[in-house]
C-alpha cells in the first residue's frame, strides 16, 4: 500500500513563487499591512497615547481653528518602490491661540494617509467650514524639523491634542 502523500497531487511551486513575488502583490500586501497598522492603533504593541489632559499639558502650541480645506493627494516625495506617497493636507483658519505663541492667521498641517490621527474629523470639519459656531475645534500645532536644514512643517499625528465639537462623537 502506497503512502497517502504519494497519491496526492504536488503543487506547482514555480507558479506560486511567481505570483507571490509579483510587484503588484507586494504593493497590495503592503497596503493591507499599513491599513491594519493604521486601524489597530495601540492594540498591536504600540504605546497608547496619553490622556487628553496630558496631551494638552505637553503641547507647545494649541489653537482654536476652522478647517478651510482638506485634501488627499500625491506628496511629490521621491521614495523607494512600494512606499505610499499620498499625504493629507489641511489648511486651518486660526481663530485664536489657546496656548503658546503663533502669529499667523492660517496654518497648513501635513500627515500621511495611513497615519492614525483625526483624518475623518478634519474632513468633516472642512465640509462644515463657514456654517456657524459648530465649525471650530481645538488642535495642537506640532512643528517638525527636517534635519538641520532649518525647514519645518506642521505635522498631523495620532498623539496630538485635538478637541472637536461634541456632535463628532456621534458620527459612524
59 alpha-carbon distance from chain centroid: 19
Instruction: Summarize pLDDT for 145-164 with one digit per residue, the tens.
Output: 988 888 999 998 878 999 99
Q: Check: CB of residue 28 under 8 Å from CB of residue 62.
A: no
Predicted TM-score (pTM) above 0.85:
no
pLDDT at 36: 40
C-alpha span between 117 and 121 (Å, rounded): 9
Q: What is the CATH number of domain 52-170?
A: 2.40.50.120
Q: What is the dihedral of CA 50, 57, 65, 85, to 10 degrees?
A: -50
Domain layout of the chain by residue ranges: 52-170
Instruction: Summarize pLDDT for 100-155 with one digit per residue, the tens.
Output: 999 999 999 998 766 567 888 898 999 989 887 788 999 999 999 988 888 999 99
Amino acid at each position: 500500500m502506497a503512502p497517502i502523500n504519494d497519491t496526492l497531487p504536488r503543487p506547482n511551486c514555480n507558479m506560486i513563487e511567481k505570483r507571490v513575488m509579483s510587484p503588484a502583490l507586494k504593493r497590495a500586501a503592503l497596503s493591507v499591512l499599513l491599513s491594519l497598522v493604521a486601524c489597530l492603533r495601540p492594540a498591536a504593541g504600540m504605546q497608547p497615547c496619553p490622556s487628553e489632559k496630558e496631551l494638552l499639558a505637553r503641547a507647545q502650541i494649541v489653537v482654536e481653528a476652522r478647517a478651510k480645506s482638506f485634501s488627499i493627494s500625491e506628496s511629490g516625495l521621491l521614495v523607494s518602490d512600494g512606499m505610499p506617497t499620498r499625504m493629507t493636507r489641511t489648511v486651518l483658519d486660526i481663530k485664536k491661540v489657546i496656548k503658546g505663541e503663533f502669529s499667523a492667521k492660517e496654518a497648513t498641517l501635513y500627515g500621511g494617509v495611513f497615519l492614525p490621527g483625526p483624518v475623518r474629523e478634519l474632513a468633516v470639519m472642512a465640509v462644515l467650514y463657514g456654517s456657524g459656531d459648530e465649525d471650530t475645534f481645538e488642535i495642537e500645532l506640532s512643528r517638525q524639523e527636517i534635519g538641520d536644514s532649518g525647514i519645518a512643517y506642521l505635522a498631523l499625528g495620532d498623539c496630538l491634542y485635538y478637541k472637536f465639537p461634541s456632535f463628532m462623537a456621534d458620527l459612524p
